[in-house]
Structure 1
Amino acid sequence: MLFRALFALAALSLTGAAHLPGIGEPAISVQTQRSGGPIDPEQAALRFDSADLKFEVLPETEQLKGVATLVFTAKAPLRRLLLDLDRNIAPSTVAIDGSPLPRSAFADPDGRLTITLPAPIAAGGQVTATITYGGTPHVAVRAPWDDGMVWSKTPDGRTWFATTAEGYGCDLFWPCLDFPTGEPGRVTLHITVPKGLKAPSNGKLIGVDTLPDGRITWNWSVRQPNTYGIALNVGPYEEMSGLYKSRFGNQIPMFYWYLPGEEAKAKALFAEFAPTLDFFESEIGPYPWGDEKLGVVETPHKGMEHQTINAYGNDYAKAPEGFDWLFQHEFSHEYFGNQLTAADWDDYWLHEGYATYMQPFYGRWREGEARYATMLDDERNKIANLRPIVSGKARTEEEVYEIDKGGPGQDIYYKGSWMLHTLRNLIGDKAFLDVTRLAVYGRLDPKPGNFQPRYGSTPEYEGFVKQVTGKDYGWFFDVYLRQAALPELIETRDGGTLTLAWKAPGDLPFPMPVEVQVDGRVERLAMTGGKDSIAVAPGAHIVVDPDSRILKRSRAIEAYQAWKAAQARKRQ
């Protein structure tokens, strides 16, 4: 999410659009653009029980109508509801517990919908808000890096539409709590589209209704979706399906919705679903949404981890590793993002670091260490080390993804991946996978039906490492997560002695063990206190960290990155 651009245009009415909105139109407010960060106390007082969302997609005018019935339980006394909803699709009516409110009782000036309740709600009380809204929703500039609606056409000129909302949040097209822990317990979707179009979405299909005028309503139900994971997808899709027999005894429906005329390519991608599932179930644990589906839909944007309906727009690209990285990456988020959701954007390395590491880890599972090393090497060259990965404070999505706002940017992907690679080599495969299971499921013995979606954080993850290993690895996370620069390994050879010393940023302790290959023989130095020595024969050939098990500073990579940047500037 490194690119943001907005262009101002007044919102068009539902009754008659003068022209179709262009890219970046209509403009959204600062409030709508903001996702996450410190949570307003009034919103923190809400437990989001359920949402029933009725959508009508209007391709001819590129507009959206909606009716949202939202059920909340008060965790503290409430006098009003504070929700998030883009002003471009502002509400026309609001009812509380079935009773319409006067227009003066609700307002949505800048994307923060405030509803004054007819009577206070006591702690433990429940309230139902029914919100009718609609308008011209914001069109994405460059989805999925910039969010909003993506209106497109299939090669034969038919409607092809999708939503993305990771960066700006769910309030782009439905009233919600736009922060990571604002997940509703269950969402039911009713998506009405023109005749001849399909609307694959989240969760389990509960019915398709044909209306008297030929329009079609697709009805879906999904449990505890990630706040940005709700997605609308509309097109003249063909459907491919199958059933995966899980090693845990259950059967998982698999679906792929693709554009007409692509059956051969679609079959090749669909053939990757079962092996990918098998990898995750064998290495991590049960697929979290086996009672719903593994769903993928072809979209007019690159991709996104929409829960049980992952967006795919990689154009069936081929790669030397023999699998589609984008499908595999977005599928990883079913575990790291949808099942395990970071409680705050500050901890989003839990999503992206793990999902990025799963590509080389899958390559290793399929083909062995050479493939693993090759894929990791490609990731290593992309680590920037400009900002610490975590700040220890609540942050918005933009404050994490954008370098100019102080965020680590792509390092939550590549540096996070390499940190996990280093951790696995440090504590061993069994401990690493046990830590991963605790993070994903909250338990070491996950089975279908004995776990629920959960929120995680960096301190909790560190606690899991300590729980599994019996050791405190705070020094490891202090350097890799809370410092921008990488530790540097200083080598000194004096006669028959090789001395290695870690120089960590901020002079922090860093007792990372190091392997040394001396004339083909590998020895492990404990590096207690961050320094150690080994006797070597004069003229011995030495390779430090011969299998690249440790993420550390590389002056060669820094020079390479600087050279590439200079070449790019010359081409501008």
Structure 2
Amino acid sequence: MRNIVLILAIFTTATNISCAQVLSDKDGKYTEADSLRGSLRPERAFDVQKYHLKLKVEPEKQFISGSNSISFIAEENLKTIQIDLFENMKVDSILQQGKKLDYNRKHNAVFIDLKEKIETDEKGEIQFYYSGNPIVAKNAPWDGGFVWDKDKNGDPWVGVAVQGTGASLWYPNKDHQSDEPEEVQLDIAVPNGLMNVSNGQFLGEKDLGNGFTEWSWKTVNPINNYNVMINIANYEHFHDTYKNLDLDYYVLPYNLEKAKKQFAEVKDIMACFYEKMGPYPFEEDGFKLVETPYLGMEHQSAVAYGNEYMMGYKGTDLSGTGIGLKWDFIIIHESGHEWYGNSITAKDIADMWVHEGFTSYTESIYIECRWGKDDALEYLKGLRDNIENKETVIGDYGVNAEGSGDMYYKGSNLLNTIRSIYNDDGLWWNTLRDYTATFKHQLVNTQQVEDFFNHATKVDLQPVFDQYLRHTDLPKLEFRKKDGKTQARWVADVENFKMPVDIFIKGVEKRIYPSKNWQTLDGNPDLNDIKINELKFYIDSNLGK
């Protein structure tokens, strides 16, 4: 049953339904602060190797304090480096080899003068000490910041969501999506009786003797800045496995039984995704679901879960078909990000459709595994009611700007259209698995993705990608009767646009190959006998208009 009013209300309130990041609202007006965050300036000519965060978190004061040791390799000769930290946070001191460094601040960037110049390809390290009350999220995860909450037992319950807003709102780092540290260690001290859960492997806990316990975690795989995370609560933990993968769950005590039932779906997810997309890309760091006081986020190896143990998206179906109520949206969508977004990461957030379009498509992959292709196609078609086609999917480069919220469902419907162009499911799944393996743990741009999927088929997909990603309108398939002949053509922004498409003529499916010039259809069918195969192709047409 379709509930358009509810879907549109959610869309208007949240900006993007899938809750994965804060979308830009710059309207093409960018500031110096945007360029400092979004561009790779000479002061950012270094490759981060490791972050080692050592922090004390005081929930009652909503205060954090500590340090980040930043190890890096210079890509050019460096005398000054840029590290990002929101200007409301205090810089206590910055050290290099035990010596204090001078620095100056501009917006959310800190420019640090190194005591010792670092030559190209040399290693460098600084210790950045800081403290403060980080920004509090008003509506996480759609706006970035800390969530200082309490559970039903009155115990502190703390989470953080920063994608889009920036990881530098709570810890100093090179806050650009093109640079992922090879590893991160987090030593997080929290009040006794509470637990901190972070990314990667659990190293142990240590009572500091001052009313705080330090919980240590470490990733051994590259990780994006916005995925580095802390989750603090009086958690209960339970464990499972899938093949060689550790599955760990951290939930509030009174939700333990519900979680054991709801999270059983994870094994079905893994079985499906392993088959269709390839093995879990962070096996060494394990997979975790962590209950959070906000809806959800794809935090690598520690996925945030706040869907309140409901099916669908907080009990609703974003497709309006009823199919979305068969599974827990947050578990499936945010887990899909482990492959697309966390393992394969866009270099510039202008290309965030590479994260969100593919991950939204994983929703239909899971449906196809469990309930069949027909339901998957129906679900994707239902999601089109959430697409606006008013702004381009790709954003502006170099200024920390994403494209439109259409990156989700226009992105997933684009992928379904490309699958239909392939017209060979075996080829499609092989190409998707090859893509996932080829770019595992890598940074990519849109062109690389386009080239990969284009290479697998004889059809030139570049005009298709250009129309769907770089223009707002859908390609329109027009039909007409002229001189007794039935003709078709494409109307599109892209010059010389071509794309095969499947139509039904009196219920019989037929593939046609229109261009921007009128072409006569075989058999001269009556216009009333023609229908687009809308389950396979997301296009516009003049049929019935």
TM-score (normalised: structure 2)? 0.87
1:498-536 deviation line (CA, Å, top 9, x unaligned): 322211135x32222222322232222122556433345
Deviation at 1:471, TM superposition (A): 4.7
Are the aligned partners of 2:298 and 2:335 in contact in 1 as well (CA < 8 Å)?
yes
Give the superposed CA RMSD: 2.6
Are the aligned partners of 2:54 and 2:66 in contact in 1 as well (CA < 8 Å)?
yes
- State the match for 1:329 in structure 2: 333
Q: Using the alignment, how far apart are the partners of 1:500 and 1:144 within structure 2?
A: 45
1:121-171 deviation line (CA, Å, top 9, x unaligned): 111211110111111111012111100110001011110000111011110
Deviation at 1:243, TM superposition (A): 0.9
- State the match for 1:216 in structure 2: 213
1:171-196 deviation line (CA, Å, top 9, x unaligned): 01111011111211110010111111
| 2:429 is the counterpart of 1:436 | no
Are the aligned partners of 1:518 and 1:536 in contact in 2 as well (CA < 8 Å)?
no
Deviation at 1:285, TM superposition (A): 0.6
For residues 380-529 of structure 1, what are the structure 2 equivalents within 5 Å? 380-390=384-394, 393-396=397-400, 399-400=401-402, 407-408=403-404, 410-427=405-422, 428-442=424-438, 453-493=441-481, 497-505=485-493, 508-527=495-514
AA aligned opposite 1:227: N
Are the aligned partners of 1:35 and 1:168 in contact in 2 as well (CA < 8 Å)?
no
Partner of 2:254: helix, strand, or coil? coil
Q: Using the alignment, how far apart are the partners of 2:34 and 2:162 within structure 1?
A: 10
AA aligned opposite 2:242: Y
Structure of greater relative contact order (alpha carbons < 8 Å, 6+ residues apart): 2
Percentage of identical aligned residues: 30
1:372-430 deviation line (CA, Å, top 9, x unaligned): 1331122111111112212573341xx32xxxxxx42x100011111001001101333
Q: Using the alignment, how far apart are the partners of 2:445 and 2:527 within structure 1?
A: 46
Deviation at 1:347, TM superposition (A): 1.0
TM-score (normalised: structure 1)? 0.83
When residues 2 and 114 of structure 1 are mapped into structure 2, their CA distance, relative to the original with a 3 A threshold, is farther
1:455-506 deviation line (CA, Å, top 9, x unaligned): 1111111211232225532111121111111111112246864322211135
When residues 3 and 455 of structure 1 are mapped into structure 2, their CA distance, relative to the original with a 3 A threshold, is farther
Q: Using the alignment, how far apart are the partners of 2:242 and 2:442 within structure 1?
A: 25
| 2:296 is the counterpart of 1:298 | no
Partner of 1:297: helix, strand, or coil? strand
**Aligned equivalent of 1:198, options 172, 195, 199:** 195
Are the aligned partners of 1:510 and 1:530 in contact in 2 as well (CA < 8 Å)?
no
- State the match for 2:112 in structure 1: 115
When residues 32 and 184 of structure 1 are mapped into structure 2, their CA distance, relative to the original with a 3 A threshold, is farther
Are the aligned partners of 1:33 and 1:168 in contact in 2 as well (CA < 8 Å)?
no
Q: Using the alignment, how far apart are the partners of 1:160 and 1:392 within structure 2?
A: 37
- State the match for 1:533 in structure 2: 520
1:30-70 deviation line (CA, Å, top 9, x unaligned): 88788852222210x11101111111110110100121111
1:529-557 deviation line (CA, Å, top 9, x unaligned): 56433345777962422353211126899
When residues 95 and 36 of structure 1 are mapped into structure 2, their CA distance, relative to the original with a 3 A threshold, is closer
Deviation at 1:263, TM superposition (A): 2.1
Q: Using the alignment, how far apart are the partners of 2:239 and 2:86 within structure 1?
A: 36
Q: Using the alignment, how far apart are the partners of 1:538 and 1:232 within structure 2?
A: 62
Identify unmatched segments of 5+ residues in structure 1: 6-29, 246-250, 401-406, 444-451, 560-572
Q: Using the alignment, how far apart are the partners of 2:346 and 2:517 within structure 1?
A: 32
**Aligned equivalent of 2:154, options 153, 157, 175:** 157
**Aligned equivalent of 1:131, options 118, 124, 128:** 128
Q: Using the alignment, how far apart are the partners of 1:546 and 1:120 within structure 2?
A: 63
When residues 339 and 155 of structure 1 are mapped into structure 2, their CA distance, relative to the original with a 3 A threshold, is same
Q: Using the alignment, how far apart are the partners of 2:357 and 2:458 within structure 1?
A: 24
Are the aligned partners of 1:64 and 1:137 in contact in 2 as well (CA < 8 Å)?
yes
For residues 98-109 of structure 1, what are the structure 2 equivalents within 5 Å? 99-101=98-100, 105-108=102-105
Q: Using the alignment, how far apart are the partners of 1:306 and 1:391 within structure 2?
A: 23
Identify unmatched segments of 5+ residues in structure 2: 1-10, 16-30, 313-321
- State the match for 2:38 in structure 1: 37
Partner of 1:510: helix, strand, or coil? coil
Q: Using the alignment, how far apart are the partners of 1:34 and 1:379 within structure 2?
A: 34
Q: Using the alignment, how far apart are the partners of 1:77 and 1:141 within structure 2?
A: 42
- State the match for 1:281 in structure 2: 274
Q: Using the alignment, how far apart are the partners of 1:539 and 1:495 within structure 2?
A: 13
Aligned residue pairs total 507
